[in-house]
Amino acid sequence: MSAAYLCPVCRANRQAFDLVYKLAQEIRKDPETGKTVYRSDELELMRREDGRPDIDVKCRQCGYAGAEQSFVRAARRDQRSALPAF
């Protein structure tokens, strides 16, 4: 993904981020006791509908973590507001 990021919270960071990958592990529980009765050996990478990894982005400056889209949108909004107004 080549879209620019801007942290939507501190709005000062465009460069240093962590990508947070989500892993899913299937479990089954006993509904009465809450005991976990099955736990898959495999961790599965969570993907979005388009097949790309479902990642969050974390700002390394203020620590905020949220959906990748919110960082992309913040960068786009910021670009627009930097254009001269007619």
Instruction: Summarize as ranges the residues that interact with Zn ion (CB under 5 A).
Output: 7, 9-10, 13, 59, 61-62, 64
Residue 54 Cβ vs Zn ion, minimum distance, rounded to whole Å: 21
Quote the tokens at residue 14: 């465009």
For residues 75, 49, 63, 77, the Cα torsion angle rounded to the nearest 10 degrees is 10
Quote the tokens at residue 30: 């006993």
Residue 84 Cβ vs Zn ion, minimum distance, rounded to whole Å: 27
Q: Which is nearer to Zn ion, 26 or 63 (CB)?
A: 63
Which DSSP string do the residues of 27-80 spell out, in sequence order? EEE-TTT--EEEE-S--EE-B-TTSSB-EEEEETTT--EEEHHHHHHHHHHHHH
Q: Which is nearer to Zn ion, 33 or 81 (CB)?
A: 81
Residue 43 Cβ vs Zn ion, minimum distance, rounded to whole Å: 28
Q: Which is nearer to Zn ion, 29 or 77 (CB)?
A: 77
